[in-house]
Amino acid sequence: MKKTIWMPLVIGGALGLLDFLSLAANFLIPLGPRIATGPQEVFLIMSAALGGPLGLLVATLLRELGGSIFFLNSQFSPEQMLSTGLLFATADLAAHLLALLAVAYCYGFLFTRVKKLYGFFAGWFLIVVVYYILLVVLQSIMIGLVITGIPPLPALFRNNMLEFLVVLIISTLIWIALPARYHKPLWIELQPISSPRADGDGKTEVHV
Distance (Å, whole) CA 76 – CA 57: 25
How many domains, the chain? 1
List the chain pLDDT tens, one digit each, 208 residues.
789 999 999 999 999 999 999 988 888 776 555 455 788 999 999 999 999 999 999 999 999 998 888 776 666 666 666 677 788 889 999 999 999 999 999 999 999 999 899 999 999 999 999 999 999 999 999 988 888 878 889 988 988 898 999 999 999 999 999 998 899 999 998 765 444 454 444 444 444 3
User: pTM of the predicted model, to two decimals?
Assistant: 0.85
Q: Which range of residues forms the domain containing residue 194?
A: 3-207
Sequence-ordered alpha helix ranges (H) in 114-208: 117-144, 153-177
Q: Say if CB 129 and CB 99 are below 8 A apart.
A: no
What CATH code is carried by the domain that includes residue 64? 1.10.1760
Nearest to 17 by CA among 80, 74, 61, 73: 61
How many angstroms separate the CA atoms of 13 and 60, rounded? Answer: 9
Q: Which of 18, 17, 96, 14 is nearest to 53 (CA)?
A: 96
